[in-house]
Amino acid sequence: MLYVVTGPPGAGKSSWIRAHAKPQDIVIDLDLMALAMAGPGADHHAHSETLLKVVHRARFAALNEAYQHLDTTDVYVNHIQPSAKALAKYKRLKAKVIVVDPGEQVVRQRVRDMRQPGMDAVVTRWYRQQQRQSCTHTVTTQASRNW
């Protein structure tokens, strides 16, 4: 089974995955990949542009390989804001989309407390996107949708 865990920065997506994934499952999380590829002492959420380019390519390769093994293992993908193209692919793969959202006030406080200042703009974009999508469907806190 493919699980796509989405939500704004600071919502608890990684925590949700840690609570549900088993040791033999595959977890594809951009932040964890960047941390694994960064030098000692790197900030968990502040990465150079060069490192992010490398990590994005590695993530793409990991996703493509993981899709080949959905019949033998569960795959968890941490994806803040999937594009329409990504959502279409997830739908074709019969993914279960999990939206983790404890609420905008909670998320904004977490981002202020734990993330770099630029992440506030990502939070704003995520909630604006959700407002636009609410015209066609309802997203509920920590709910899941089967495509």
pLDDT confidence of residue 134: 62
- Does position 98 have pLDDT exceeding 50, yes or no? yes
Element (H, E) at 50: helix 49-67
Sheet holding 26-29, edge to edge: 26-29, 75-78, 2-6, 96-99, 143-146
| Averaged pLDDT of the chain | 87
Please state the domain extents for the chain.
2-146
Superfamily of domain 2-146: P-loop containing nucleotide triphosphate hydrolases (3.40.50.300)
The residue written with tokens 């990949």 in the block is: 33
> Per residue in 28-68, pLDDT tens?
999 899 989 988 877 766 778 899 999 999 999 999 999 99
